[in-house]
Amino acid sequence: MLDAGMHVLLLTSDGSLASTVTDLSRELGLTAQTSKQFHEVQDDLNCAKFEGVLVDLDTVDDARSVLSAVRASRSNKNSVVFVIATDYGEALNALNDRAHFVLRRPVDRIAMRRTLHAAYDLMRKERRRYFRCPIDLPVELTTEDGESHRCSTINVSSSGAALNVRKSLELGQTVELTLLLPDGPAIRTNGAVIWDDKHGKCGVHFRCSPQMQAMLDSWLDSNLTPKADLR
């Protein structure tokens, strides 16, 4: 089981490349995990979340299949994908396969570091999207008919929250929410009920204004791993 930080999965048989990417990832507060076989990557994608996936088309058989496997993975379909290739045509094909960053061999440490820096915010955005912060926050919930209910969060993400609420809510029902962040501002937003277990728990998808979304994302960032120094 991986820890709560950001992770990069490396598919390569090039020990020098793996060592370089692992060292540079550590500088940015990322954890790199290396696999050499496609079947290993499939297992990894099925059981863990990775913010980044690096695929070495030159040194691993079936490496191109990993690109399809990433996009088919429920948890990792939005991961930031890096591809390394010697052949120019292979590099272009990788872009058609929706790779975010393509590097051609030989790849030096400076180029690799620059690429990881460029991708850092994208990976952090993906981590924030997937991240569920387990926290008990007081919430004021108002239903469409004007009823107000005091409830609490089970967890909070960039796009919604799971709630403890005494009243059962209907799927699709619109609600207004005020979340009181610890030592921070109140987040006021509309939302839609996307699940309700009829036993005191429900999920609400947020429809935040840009200002409220920025405030929420900033708070979530502070609960992720500490942001790396990108100087």
Asked whether the beta carbons of 76 and 70 are under 8 A apart, the reply is: yes
Amino acid (one-letter) located at 208: C
CATH topology of domain 133-223: Thrombin, subunit H (2.40.10)
**Pick from 7-11, 60-64, 156-160: least confident:** 60-64
In this prediction, residue 195 carries a pLDDT of 95
With 50 as the cut, is the pLDDT of residue 127 above it? yes
d(CA 154, CA 226): 23
In this prediction, residue 4 carries a pLDDT of 52
Q: Taking the domain 6-130, which CATH number applies?
A: 3.40.50.2300
In this prediction, residue 224 carries a pLDDT of 67
In this prediction, residue 226 carries a pLDDT of 43
Question: Binning pLDDT at 50, 70 and 90, where does residue 3 land?
Answer: very low
Give 163-194 pLDDT, tens digit per residue.
999 888 999 999 999 999 887 789 999 999 99
In this prediction, residue 222 carries a pLDDT of 79
Domain boundaries, the chain: 6-130, 133-223
Which residues, other chains included, contact 105 with Cβ-Cβ below 8 Å and sequence gap of 6+? 58, 84, 85, 86
In this prediction, residue 47 carries a pLDDT of 82
In this prediction, residue 18 carries a pLDDT of 94
Which residues, other chains included, contact 134 with Cβ-Cβ below 8 Å and sequence gap of 6+? 154, 155
Q: Which letter, b or e, does each residue of 106-142 get, where b requires 16 or more Cβ atoms within 10 Å of its Cβ? A: ebeeeebbebbeebbebbbbbbbebbebeeebebebe
With 50 as the cut, is the pLDDT of residue 231 above it? no
Give 144-155 pLDDT, tens digit per residue.
888 899 999 999
In this prediction, residue 230 carries a pLDDT of 35
* 36 or 83, greater pLDDT: 83
- For the chain, the average pLDDT equals 87
With 80 as the cut, is the pLDDT of residue 121 above it? yes
With 60 as the cut, is the pLDDT of residue 20 above it? yes
The C-alpha R_g of the chain, in whole angstroms, comes to 21
Q: Is the pTM of this model over 0.95?
A: no
d(CA 66, CA 61): 10
